[in-house]
Amino acid sequence: MTKFIFVTGGVVSGIGKGIAGASIGRMLKNRGLKVFMQKFDPYINIDPGTMSPYQHGEVFVTKDGAETDLDLGHYERFIDEELTKVASVTAGKIYSRVINKERRGDYEGGTVQVIPHITDEIKNCVYKAAEQSKADVVITEIGGTVGDIESNPFLEAIRQIHSENQEDVLFVHTVLVPAIPGSKELKTKPTQHSFKSLMSYGIKADVIITRAEYDITDEIKEKISLFCDVPIEAIIESKTVDLIYEVPIVFHEQGLDNFILDKLNLKPKHDSDRSWYNMVEEFKKADKKVDIALVGKYTQLHDSYISVNQALYDAGYVNGADVTIHWIESEKITKDNVEKIFDGMDGIIVPGGFGARGSEGMILSSKYARENNIPYLGICYGMQMVVIDLARNVLGYESANTTEIDPDTKYPVISLLDNHNPKEDIGGTLRLGDYECSLKEGSLAHELYGKEKIIERHRHRYEVNNEYVKKLEEVGMVVSGRNEDLDVTEMIELKDHKFFVACQFHPEFKSRPNNVAVLFKGFIKATLK
């Protein structure tokens, strides 16, 4: 029988529900249990795929092609499981499904209402996750903050799930315990009000996870326990840590995993596995320094590249290095300042993106790294900019471009794979999820991966135009990875360069702290040389 843990947030948003849920998942994995995680987002968008990165940060992609909230990236990195479409649920998806059923006549003329039709659809997503994953525990995070009007159907749905499975459901509530300005006095009143607000939906928290600027004392825990009717051992402090991967350790040291196991009557397969702890201790020993220039379009919000950031940090740790990311706004790079901008940088990375803004700065970044033998890693859009750089500055095709930016370019070195018109309907029309890539024997890519075929995740619409591949190869571009079925270029690299690799896929989506993406590891290793 699958057990269910629901994670809600109170007082304010952004206090780390996702990390808390992922840390609980990691603790249970450390005890030998199979875990699956999912996120319920209350916004009306079908998915974040068409949303600006400034709205919700990075769009994470699952293996089966779902465009999801960035929290799923945290989940995968912590629990080391590949999630699926059923792990990402938005209010938009729920309402769309119910409306489609009503249009088909599935409800046989009945009045369609939030209860039971919307709530039943939400419950089905939870039960479907349990059925498909065969997990011992499904952990579901409810986005937003208790009291938000958008979250009401989700809270009602998980209340009903508790009614249907009372012995198999546990509620975790995360709260901020604020301090009075000008003093270090922490106040529990917001926690009490948040707990009561949750109770008004018929949900009683079993565990309260607190976040505060200062240490939570036993006295404060006792006060929360008294007013919220939660055992003191279930008042857990989520301390600020040096590495986010320490959070499961902090929770374990407070006995949270044992409390959950007892409450849900779960039998662990063994005592807590030490490998995660050993990994964190090794990471904290990193003593070398690496400066990486991340050239992007959305650098004002670092969450826009959160999987890239984490893969860089993790690749640094496994190479014994502490990575400092320098955020470079690609729009601000010009021929006159490019040398000054990259002065002192050990490596340059250009991640994914869309649209014309800032593209010329990315092309200059590729050119500078290429001509000055600086390690370069291009991801998705970052690979396409390399191809344009080579076409313009080596082949001499001065007006070479991608048809995404210039549909009438004389040299369309990057173009659509088919006749799809993205202007008609841009939602979910990219090449998404896992695709196979065959690696060229003798290439750096083949050496790094150590295998002939790999599977990586994608999120893009445009491809390298095959008409120009032979000409580009003649001037030194190595096509080190191809998708044979689609006949498209997946990876390129340059000979006689310290490290110059670019890929059409997103290796950061499959990177884990205990299994870092090889391209990131190789890139950081090259910068240390």
- 228 is known as an active-site residue: no
- Sole residue written with tokens 């799923």: 72
Task: For residue 142, list its beta bridge partners.
Answer: 40
Q: How far is CA 260 from CA 30, 40, 161, 228, in A?
A: 13, 22, 18, 18
User: What torsion do the CA atoms of 274, 279, 285, 287 make, to the nearest 10 degrees?
Assistant: 180
Structure tokens at 367: 């050119």
- 463 is known as an active-site residue: no
In whole angstroms, what is the distance from residue 89 CA to residue 309 CA? 25
Name the catalytic one among 125, 380, 437, 503: 380
Task: For residue 140, list its beta bridge partners.
Answer: 6, 38
Nearby residues of 456 by Cβ (< 8 Å), 6 or more positions away: 434, 435, 437, 490, 503, 505, 506, 507, 509, 510
- 125 is known as an active-site residue: no
Name the catalytic one among 56, 74, 446, 506: 506
How many helices (H) and strands (E) in the chain? 18, 21
282: amino acid identity, one letter: E
Terminal Cα-to-Cα distance of the chain (whole angstroms): 52
Cis peptide before 190 (omega within 30 of 0): no
Nearby residues of 46 by Cβ (< 8 Å), 6 or more positions away: 90, 92, 93, 96, 427, 428
The DSSP annotation for 169-236 comes to: EEEEEEEE--B-TTS--B--HHHHHHHHHHHTTT---SEEEEE-SS---HHHHHHHHHHHT--GGGEE
Q: Give 400's Cβ-side CA count (13 Å radius).
A: 23
* Residues identified as active-site: 380, 506, 508
